């Protein structure tokens, strides 16, 4: 089967670059700052009290998928634990611990922000601001809480936070109205996207990546999008760009004015569309999370 010319170019350009991170086993030595980079699996128990530089956590833990040890987040000032955006499993073999992953007494914690974590025993105690999404309530099946801990569902603009699934090649991304959280990848594919701006007007988070492919759109704004986790529910052989714009007829610009978090990636944005005009503001917004590439040119970050 022949691939579209732009896809061939893109595949050639990123051969060996888009391949998923090779498995890298690391042993935690007690100091996060001195841990190796690009670890995918950590052996050792980790305790977070808020003393670590948050930028170090986002860098060192960006690709971690497995932890063979116990994890505790205790007494921190973290608002989210999204430095574990790609963490899928925690197995604590220490019988003295009652849970594998303990989240306790974090006064500022509002959301967990770990989109693909599955853990046998999760402890959530003494986190007064914390809420749980409906998807998390389904995924975390064994949660230990104190008698005074409420189980609060996260609220959105009109009641419980509206979570949606996007489908490849679906009309308007396969999205319902009023979506606020996309629980996988966001797919904007093909020519049936006449109402896509309305479908995206309240979206604040995407658990996976953003794909804009083979559309007839001229431009797109996702006005409230704040976070793209670029997470994978299963091991992937590819580490795609966090945002991929490819094979569109006349797409010139993307605007995400509220973006404040994307999981670290080799490339945060890639397009090979001839029509695309890179905006310096977008470059500045996305460059802290990975290289921004338009038509084989990596843009500079003026921040």
Q: Please report whether residue 263 resides in a domain.
A: yes
User: CA–CA separation, 263 vs 227, rounded Å?
Assistant: 8
Residue 231 CA to residue 242 CA, distance in Å, equals: 9
127/178 same-domain check: no
For the chain, 303 residues long, the average pLDDT of each consecutive 10-residue run is 41 43 90 93 96 94 96 97 96 93 97 96 96 95 87 94 97 97 97 96 98 97 98 78 96 97 95 93 95 91 49
Radius of gyration of the chain (CA): 20
Give SS3 for 204: coil
- For residue 221, the 8-state DSSP code is E
Domain limits at 237? 157-298
Query: For the chain, give me the number of helices (H) and strands (E)?
Result: 5, 24
CB 164 within 8 A of CB 176: yes
Q: Say if 13 falls within a structural domain.
A: no
Burial class (CB in 10 A: 0-12, 13-18, 19+), 182: buried
Residue 93 within a domain: yes
Select from 120, 136, 153 the last residue of a domain.
Answer: 153
Whether 247 contacts 279, CB under 8 Å: no
pLDDT value, residue 20: 61
Alpha carbon distances (Å) from 17 to 6, 208, 213, 272: 17, 19, 20, 15
Residues 296 and 273: beta-carbon distance below 8 Å: no
Question: Cα–Cα distance between 46 and 72 in angstroms, integer?
Answer: 6
Nearest Cα to 86, choosing from 109, 113, 64?
A: 64
Domain assignment present for residue 264? The answer is: yes
**According to the model, what pLDDT value does residue 2 have?**
34
Domain count for the chain: 2
Question: Could you give the CA distance from residue 33 to residue 241 in angstroms, rounded to a whole number?
Answer: 26
Per the domain annotation, does 4 fall within a domain?
no
* pTM, full prediction: 0.91
Q: How far apart are CA 205 and CA 162, in angstroms?
A: 11
User: How far is it, in rounded angstroms, from Cα 215 to Cα 195?
Assistant: 13
Residues 67, 92 share a domain: yes
At 69 the pLDDT is 97
Query: Are 194 and 120 contained in the same domain?
Result: no
Tokens 């704040």, residue? Answer: 226
Taking a C-beta distance cutoff of 8 angstroms, is the pair 152, 171 a contact? no
Torsion of Cα atoms, 114 then 117 then 123 then 128, to 10°: 20
How many whole angstroms separate alpha carbon 271 and alpha carbon 284?
A: 16
Contacts of 60 (CB under 8 A, 6+ apart): 32, 33, 35, 37, 39
Instruction: Give yes or no: residues 184 and 141 share one domain.
Output: no
Select from 153, 179, 200 the last residue of a domain: 153
Domain end position, chosen among 134, 153, 172: 153
């Amino acid at each position: 089967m022949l691939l579209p010319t732009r896809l061939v170019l893109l595949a050639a350009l990123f051969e060996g670059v888009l391949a998923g991170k090779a498995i890298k086993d690391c042993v935690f030595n007690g100091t996060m700052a001195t841990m190796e980079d690009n670890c995918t699996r950590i052996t050792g128990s980790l305790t977070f009290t808020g003393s670590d530089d948050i930028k170090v956590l986002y860098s060192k833990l960006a690709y971690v998928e497995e932890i063979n040890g116990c994890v505790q987040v205790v007494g921190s000032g973290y608002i989210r634990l999204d430095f574990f955006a790609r963490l899928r499993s925690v197995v604590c073999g220490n019988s003295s611990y009652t849970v594998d992953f303990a989240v306790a007494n974090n006064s500022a914690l509002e959301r967990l922000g770990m989109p693909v974590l599955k853990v046998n025993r999760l402890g959530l105690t003494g986190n007064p601001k914390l809420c749980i999404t409906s998807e998390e309530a389904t995924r975390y099946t064994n949660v230990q809480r104190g008698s005074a801990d409420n189980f609060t569902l996260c609220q959105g603009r009109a009641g419980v936070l509206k979570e949606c699934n996007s489908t490849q090649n679906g009309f308007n991304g396969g999205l319902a109205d009023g979506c606020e959280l996309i629980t996988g990848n966001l797919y904007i594919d093909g020519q049936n996207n006449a109402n896509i701006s309305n479908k995206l007007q309240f979206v604040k988070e995407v658990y996976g990546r953003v794909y804009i492919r083979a559309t007839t759109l001229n431009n797109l704004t996702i006005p409230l999008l704040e976070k793209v986790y670029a997470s994978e529910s299963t091991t992937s052989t590819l580490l795609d760009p966090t945002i991929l714009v490819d094979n569109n007829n006349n797409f010139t610009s993307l605007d995400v004015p509220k973006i404040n978090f994307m999981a670290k990636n080799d490339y945060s944005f890639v397009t090979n569309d001839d029509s695309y005009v890179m905006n310096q503001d977008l470059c500045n917004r996305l460059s802290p999370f990975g290289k921004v590439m338009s038509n084989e040119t990596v843009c500079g970050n003026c921040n």
